[in-house]
Amino acid sequence: MIIKVLGSGCARCNQMETLTREVLKEMGVEASIEHVREIKKIMEYPIMSTPGLVINEQLVVSGKVPDKAKLNQIIANALAKEK
For the chain, the residue count is 83
Where does this chain touch another protein (CB under 8 A) — which range of 21-29, 53-61, 75-83? 53-61
- Element (H or E) spanning 53, and its range? strand 52-55
Tally DSSP H helices, then E strands, for the chain: 3, 4
- Told to check if 2 binds another protein by CB under 8 A, we report no
In this complex, which beta carbon is closest to another protein, that of residue 13 or of residue 24?
13
Smallest distance from another protein to CB 28, Å: 26
DSSP per-residue codes, 56-75: TTEEEEESSPPPHHHHHHHH
Residues that bind another protein (CB under 8 A): 7-10, 12-13, 39-40, 42-44, 46-50, 59-64, 67
